């Protein structure tokens, strides 16, 4: 289905762009359809096809299947800078409990082979809708700017793998290398219609670490004949926290969370193995390296301290799906913050706080030479819900919650306004 090109009408008032209200129904309908039909990472076939079709309808030259289901839309409009605007495509293996009329009923087979429910619990449906609204608005005002728009729809953000897959498939070789990279992410903490920005380190690096704790099993009544991996695993879990509390500079944030621990099968049996799964978060590469080295050291040293033989020392594996930390170029962030304040007013735009969440948008800015990049936060919470939570009412559902439900109309309106005004500022003016 084709929709009208414009969501908002750009009007030049003085030296700044403002939006005259237009019928929001087409974009809201797109949002509801995307929300109702999420797809898991690297399975975004139908979602990617829809985004590609929408970009083509807006006048972009579209290339499909980059790094999986990635999509690139190019709109060349004379000399000037190349601006990359990026959205993500994938949903999460979460069973939706929002009760919305357009709630997802989707099911899919996860990588593990397990059938799961699927939901856009991280706002990627808002990201895509804002992305298309921005593409339509900018394409409809080509007489006002000069340069190249590069719209990138990326798969598998939730696995931290999509950006790398697109880059390895020649994203910046097959298409123009951007002068600036921009992205937004909805926030489950701030009211719709607000924008938050964070200069410098904005989101954390993410590592997944597996520790296989091996022991010598036996009868629970005769522990002296065994080397108990449950005891060793417990010791490792507790001592890992000293890497942060006693070895890192307190001014450098970091997180080690043991999210999964599995071992044993019966009350009176000492098992021969316990498996731990960790998520490790930090900002700088220096801190990341210190944490990963420290995890290996703690695991092995605790085993030796408890008398485990050398051939039974723990095996520490750092998985490949590493997500680097998001670094917002400070100069570009300051420039865009001024644009947002001019657009929305100072009361709607403010400095945010860095997050320990991860985002593989970071990879686009880390290519060498580095590309100035900014990811900013878009408030998505219904104002009444936000006000209630600030006054002792129900807590707000977080991102990845089965209850997370953005307030779509003001969120999408603000997202399109923010991203379009940002791109307009960076492109050459006619």
The residues assigned a catalytic role are 90, 157
Burial of 82 (0-12, 13-18, 19+ CB in 10 A): buried
DSSP assignment letter at 409 = H
Torsion sign, CA atoms 124, 129, 135, 137: negative
Instruction: Order across the sheet with 273-282: list the strands.
Output: 254-263, 273-282, 205-214, 315-318
Tokens coding 126:
């808002």
Residue 133 and residue 420: Cα distance in Å, rounded?
A: 9
Using an 8 Å Cβ cutoff, are 42 and 159 in contact?
Answer: yes
* Spatial separation of the C-alpha atoms in residues 409 and 220, rounded to whole Å: 60
Which position has the token pair 């929408």? 54
Q: Which residues lie closer than 8 Å to 350 by C-beta, 6 or more apart?
A: 194, 195, 196, 197
**Tokens read off for 324:** 């680097």
Structure tokens at 354: 């860095």
What CA–CA distances, in Å, run from 84 to 37, 232, 297, 404, 423? 26, 49, 42, 28, 9
Q: How many Å from the N-terminal Cα to the C-terminal Cα in the chain?
A: 33
- Whole-number Å distance between alpha carbons of 68 and 70: 6
Cα radius of gyration rounded to whole Å, the chain: 24
Q: Is 101 exposed, middle or buried (0-12, 13-18, 19+ CB in 10 A)?
A: exposed
Q: Which residues pair with 203 in a beta bridge?
A: 326, 355
The alpha carbon dihedral of 104, 109, 111, 114 has a sign of positive
């Amino acid at each position: 289905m084709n929709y009208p090109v414009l969501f908002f009408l750009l009007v030049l008032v003085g030296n700044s762009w403002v939006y005259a209200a237009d019928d929001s129904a087409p974009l809201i309908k797109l949002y509801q359809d995307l929300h109702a039909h999420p797809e898991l990472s690297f399975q975004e076939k139908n979602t990617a096809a829809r985004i590609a079709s929408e970009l083509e309808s807006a006048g972009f030259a579209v290339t499909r299947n980059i790094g999986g289901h990635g999509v690139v839309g190019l709109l060349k409009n004379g000399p000037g800078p190349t601006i990359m605007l990026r959205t993500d495509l994938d949903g999460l293996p979460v069973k939706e409990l929002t009760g919305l009329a357009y709630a997802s009923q989707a099911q899919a087979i996860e990588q593990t082979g397990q059938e799961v429910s699927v939901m856009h619990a991280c706002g990627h449906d808002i990201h895509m809708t804002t992305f298309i609204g921005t593409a339509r608005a900018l394409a409809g005002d080509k007489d006002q700017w000069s340069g190249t728009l590069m719209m990138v729809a990326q798969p598998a953000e939730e696995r931290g793998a999509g950006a790398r897959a697109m880059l390895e498939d020649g994203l910046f070789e097959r298409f123009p290398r951007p002068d600036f990279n921009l992205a937004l992410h909805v926030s489950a903490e701030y009211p719709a219609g607000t924008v938050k920005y964070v200069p410098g380190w904005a989101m954390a690096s993410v590592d997944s670490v597996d520790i296989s704790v091996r022991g010598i099993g036996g009868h629970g009544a005769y522990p002296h004949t065994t080397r108990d991996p449950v005891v060793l695993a417990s010791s490792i879990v507790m001592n890992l926290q000293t890497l942060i509390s006693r070895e890192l500079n307190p001014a450098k944030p970091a997180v080690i969370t043991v999210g999964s621990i599995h071992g044993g099968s019966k009350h009176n049996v000492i098992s021969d193995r316990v498996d731990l799964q960790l998520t490790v978060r930090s900002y700088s590469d220096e801190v990341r390296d210190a944490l990963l080295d420290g995890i290996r050291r703690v695991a092995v040293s605790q085993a030796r301290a408890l008398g485990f033989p050398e051939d039974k020392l723990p095996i520490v594996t750092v998985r490949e799906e590493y997500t680097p930390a998001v670094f917002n170029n400070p100069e570009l962030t300051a420039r865009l913050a001024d644009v947002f304040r001019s657009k929305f007013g100072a009361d709607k735009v403010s400095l945010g706080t860095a997050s320990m969440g991860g985002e593989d948008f970071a990879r686009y800015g880390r290519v060498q030479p580095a590309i100035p990049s900014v990811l900013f936060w878009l408030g998505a919470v219904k104002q009444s819900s936000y006000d209630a939570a600030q006054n002792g009412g129900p807590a707000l559902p977080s991102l990845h919650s089965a209850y997370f439900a953005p307030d779509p109309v003001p969120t999408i309106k603000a997202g399109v306004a923010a991203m379009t005004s940002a791109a307009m500022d960076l492109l050459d003016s006619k």
